[in-house]
């Protein structure tokens, strides 16, 4: 029961760390109490994208006449089949993780892992039995869960979290979504597209509040166009009533209480790291504000114990957890490893239109003391976007005026989540604005907007 490396948690941080460790010659085990792949694969990133694709297809069908295609008869969603497809996609991907772990000779230990005072790992199996394991290195990758507000306790029936939102038995007629981050916004779009009357409540002045202000405002307009009621500078104070007949007291931006009726309240106000009962106190692992304290290589204050992903400070994103896992394991293996540059982390929201961003917002760049050049190119001027019938949104690039360094990229529009990687690489390679302008982009593509936005920053834009 002794390993070189044990990883606790098999989400996108944990399973990636385990496989990379095995590739580097370590004897590796991963401990998982639920489905392989963690929340992201089973109850987050992957199944939500399946739901959103169904909503997008439904949207296309409703507007087929705009593309010269006549569809006879009533077009309506089969909610049960949409949910079933989503679960099928998640199950297939989870089986794929099982295959990858087996292929790389990673041992899977089923149960709940907990550090002990002597830096061993105690695993509680489903049958109640406990087994102790030892490892030279233990990586904690236990992820996070839906955050609950004191006045919005989730009961799984009237007030639900993202997990229940993935598997509702029937399509609700009305829903109030609390919180307009990526999770809240994606569910608001999904349910609204299928016909649910959705109200989106956000405490901050704009929806998607961490995005550039222009992006947030564009998404607010797009949501209102899609008949989503958006309430900013607002908060849900209380929920009364029974399942299917709720009265929600919302404090609006004027400070007045409005009473809204709905069938379901979806709480999407962030996440809480899973750090309870995993032995942090017993092992003496330091925490701060509920998260494990680590250095740039994810080492805790206890030798041989590491932490990655949602339980450490930083963006709670699947691709961040994966990068942290690889960085951590390669450092353990003695490789020369560069610390992760968190200024190049892309963020994506898979609504329609999509949102993608990287680096500093315009406001943050100014507050950091940069003299900046800003270039913006609207998709309304893009031939490909017009041909696709998807000309909402824009590309906005922010450069340092003195050196031409790309400081930030902010996009809203069709397929922008596929376009942001170019700008991540550009920033990583310290590409300048002029180099982006001179990099020939294919025509007609949505990606031309990146070249044009860079040109706009330097007053060289051609097509607007």
CATH match of 159-269 with 3.30.950.10: no
Q: Please provide the distance, in angstroms rounded to a whole number, between the alpha carbons at the two ends of the chain.
A: 66
Q: Is 44 helix (H, G, I), strand (E, B) or coil?
A: coil
* 184 labeled binding residue: yes
Q: Which residues pair with 107 in a beta bridge?
A: 29
- State the burial class of residue 378 (Cβ atoms within 10 Å of its Cβ: 0-12, 13-18, 19+): buried
DSSP character at residue 194: T
Other residues' Cβ atoms within 10 Å of the Cβ of residue 377: 25
Domain boundaries, the chain: 2-146+272-342, 159-269, 353-457
* 11 labeled binding residue: no
Q: How many CA atoms lie within 13 A of 334 on its CB side?
A: 3
CA–CA distance, 384 with 419 (Å, rounded to integer): 14
The reported pLDDT for the residue numbered 19 is 98
Q: Is 370 helix (H, G, I), strand (E, B) or coil?
A: coil
The reported pLDDT for the residue numbered 119 is 83
Token couple for 241:
């009533």
Is the whole-model pTM more than 0.85? yes
Phi, psi of 101 (to 5 degrees): -65, -40
* 2-146+272-342 and 159-269: identical CATH topology: yes
Q: What is the CA radius of gyration of the chain?
A: 24
CATH number of the 2-146+272-342 domain: 3.50.50.60
Phi, psi of 358 (to 5 degrees): -160, 135
The reported pLDDT for the residue numbered 1 is 79
* 422 labeled binding residue: no
Token couple for 212:
């550039």
CA–CA distance, 86 with 45 (Å, rounded to integer): 11
CA–CA distance, 353 with 32 (Å, rounded to integer): 36
The CATH number of 353-457 is which of 3.40.50.11030, 3.30.390.30, 3.30.430.20, 3.20.190.10?
Answer: 3.30.390.30
From first to last of its 464 residues, the chain has per-residue pLDDT tens of 799 999 999 999 999 999 999 999 999 999 999 999 988 888 888 999 999 999 999 999 999 999 999 988 889 999 999 999 999 999 999 999 999 999 999 999 999 999 998 889 999 999 999 999 999 999 999 999 999 999 999 999 999 999 999 999 999 999 999 999 999 999 999 999 999 999 999 999 999 999 999 999 999 999 999 999 999 999 999 999 988 899 999 999 999 999 999 999 999 999 999 999 999 999 999 999 999 999 999 999 999 999 999 999 999 999 999 999 999 999 999 999 999 999 999 999 999 999 999 999 999 999 999 999 999 999 999 999 999 999 999 999 999 999 999 999 999 999 999 999 999 999 999 999 999 999 999 999 999 999 999 999 999 999 99
* 290 labeled binding residue: no
* 359 labeled binding residue: no
Other residues' Cβ atoms within 10 Å of the Cβ of residue 329: 29
The reported pLDDT for the residue numbered 74 is 87
Q: Which residues pair with 241 in a beta bridge?
A: 246
Q: Which are the catalytic amino acids?
A: 443
Token couple for 69:
């295609």
Q: Which residues pair with 406 in a beta bridge?
A: 399
The reported pLDDT for the residue numbered 287 is 97
Q: Which residues pair with 132 in a beta bridge?
A: 122
């Amino acid at each position: 029961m002794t390993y070189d490396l044990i990883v606790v948690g098999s989400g996108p941080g944990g399973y990636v760390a385990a496989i990379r460790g095995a590739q580097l010659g370590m004897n590796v085990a991963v401990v998982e109490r639920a489905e392989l792949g963690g929340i992201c694969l089973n109850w987050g990133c992957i199944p939500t994208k399946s739901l959103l694709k169904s909503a997008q297809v439904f949207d296309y069908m409703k507007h087929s006449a705009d593309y010269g295609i006549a569809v006879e008869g009533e077009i309506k969603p089969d909610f049960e089949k949409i949910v079933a497809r989503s679960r099928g996609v998640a199950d297939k991907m989870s089986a794929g993780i099982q295959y990858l772990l087996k292929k790389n000779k990673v041992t899977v230990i089923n149960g709940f892992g907990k550090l002990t005072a002597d830096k061993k790992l105690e695993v509680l199996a489903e049958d109640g039995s406990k087994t102790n394991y030892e490892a030279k290195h233990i990586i904690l990758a236990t992820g996070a869960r839906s955050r609950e507000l004191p006045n919005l306790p989730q009961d799984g029936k009237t007030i639900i979290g993202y997990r229940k939102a993935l598997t509702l038995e029937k399509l609700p007629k009305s829903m109030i979504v609390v919180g307009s981050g990526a999770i809240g916004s994606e569910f608001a779009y999904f349910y609204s597209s299928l016909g649910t009357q959705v109200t989106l409540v956000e405490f901050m002045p704009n929806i998607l509040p961490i995005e550039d202000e222009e992006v947030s405002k564009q998404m607010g307009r797009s949501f209102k166009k899609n008949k989503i009621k958006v309430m900013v500078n607002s908060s849900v104070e209380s929920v009364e009533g029974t399942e299917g007949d709720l009265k929600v007291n919302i404090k609006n931006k004027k400070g007045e209480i409005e009473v809204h009726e709905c069938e379901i309240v979806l709480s999407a106000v962030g996440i809480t790291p899973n750090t309870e009962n995993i032995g942090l106190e017993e092992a003496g692992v330091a925490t701060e504000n509920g998260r494990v304290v680590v250095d740039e290589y994810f080492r805790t204050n206890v030798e041989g114990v590491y932490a990655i992903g949602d339980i450490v400070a930083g963006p709670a994103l699947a691709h961040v957890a994966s990068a942290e896992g690889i960085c951590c394991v390669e450092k353990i293996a003695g490789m020369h490893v560069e610390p992760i540059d968190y200024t190049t982390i892309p963020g994506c929201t898979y609504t329609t239109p999509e949102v993608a961003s990287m680096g500093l917002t315009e406001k943050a760049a100014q507050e950091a003391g940069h003299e900046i050049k800003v270039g913006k190119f609207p998709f309304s001027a893009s031939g490909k976007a017009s041909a696709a019938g998807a000309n909402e949104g824009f590309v906005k690039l922010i450069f340092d005026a003195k050196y031409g360094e790309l400081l930030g990229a902010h996009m809203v529009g069709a397929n922008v989540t596929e376009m942001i990687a170019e700008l991540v690489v550009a920033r990583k390679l310290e590409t300048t604005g002029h180099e982006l302008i001179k990099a020939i982009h294919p025509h007609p593509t949505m990606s031309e907007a990146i070249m044009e936005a860079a040109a706009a920053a330097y007053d060289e834009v051609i097509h607007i």
